[in-house]
A = this chain, B = another copy of it.
């Protein structure tokens, strides 16, 4: 395995270094080929590096930054605020070739804006799209895009999302002919938005992709399709609804677990065994394991972690970046698109 250096916006996300540093500690333990360039406030970071025995670690370089982009400001303001910010410097490290990919849990608008400003998009790509793998009930994953980068999109852009999603699924899910679907509020041809009906017709007649029609949002995790295509507003609404439902159900059960841990009776061991069966099932569908959205369509790997991610979830965002770098996703998409454009 080749060595991979990643640039990290240590300050991004709701919890900053308290989440990102333990995630790095886990990544360094799990993957021996990783190195990190860290960008953030050394006063906050150093004690945490110490806590996780990472101070002066040979695979960590810390670059002190004082500026952090607020999570709740509009893009235009964020850009003015971005100079010397942890997020911008992390992206610049990728641009300058010092790192192969960047991970941030910070302001999504700023990350996407800066990434588009600093990192070259692939030729012919009009809009990069936030892309994730979502878990399905049979233990597999589906690709979903766009998850929030583009609130409104043109018919042409939706088709590009389909092409990019197709190539992403081929590589990341190891599929020869991934099934593609447009997210809509009905499966019949006449249902839903006029734009979706139009793009449905365009995709249906293409021979180079395996478009299988509309999918509704209650089937997102049923693995009825491999790539779910939508505009960024719709994708964000659908994915967060899914995440919210999963989190709420998990929290009900975690509460049960806490209750259980303090209960004392003679059958405790047995109870634990029973509980474990349920808990393991919940772990399988834990959204933490699918944290990380990539800005597909750029020439480099830029990964957005969920702002509220915990250390475990942030670790999976790092892992998501590593997988894409190892699979050389940007180049695969470039080659794939070129093929389809010369058809």
Is B240 in contact with A237, judged by CB distance below 8 angstroms?
no
Q: When the two chains form their complex, are residues B216 and A240 in contact, meaning their CB atoms are under 8 A apart? A: yes
A240 touches B217 (CB 8 A): yes
Q: Known: A185-B148, A245-B246, A267-B270. Is A237-B251 also a contact (CB below 8 A)? A: no
Q: How many copies does the complex hold?
A: 2
Contacts of A241-290 to chain B: CB distance below 8 A: 241-249, 251-253, 256, 267, 270-271, 274-275, 277-278, 281, 285
A234 interface hit (Cβ, 8 Å):
yes
Contact of A192 among B72, B151, B271 (CB under 8 A): B151
A92-111 interface code vs B (CB 8 A; 1 in, 0 out): 00000000000000000000
Residue of B nearest to A306 (CB): B218
Residues of chain B with a CB closer than 8 A to A232's CB: 185
Contact with B along A73-94 (1 / 0, CB 8 A): 1100000000000000000000
Contacts A/B (CB < 8 Å), 16 sampled:
A72-B188, A137-B248, A137-B251, A148-B185, A217-B237, A217-B244, A218-B240, A218-B241, A220-B241, A234-B234, A237-B237, A237-B241, A241-B241, A245-B246, A253-B278, A256-B277
**7 closest Cβ contacts across the A-B interface?**
A218-B244, A245-B245, A241-B241, A218-B240, A217-B241, A185-B236, A74-B190
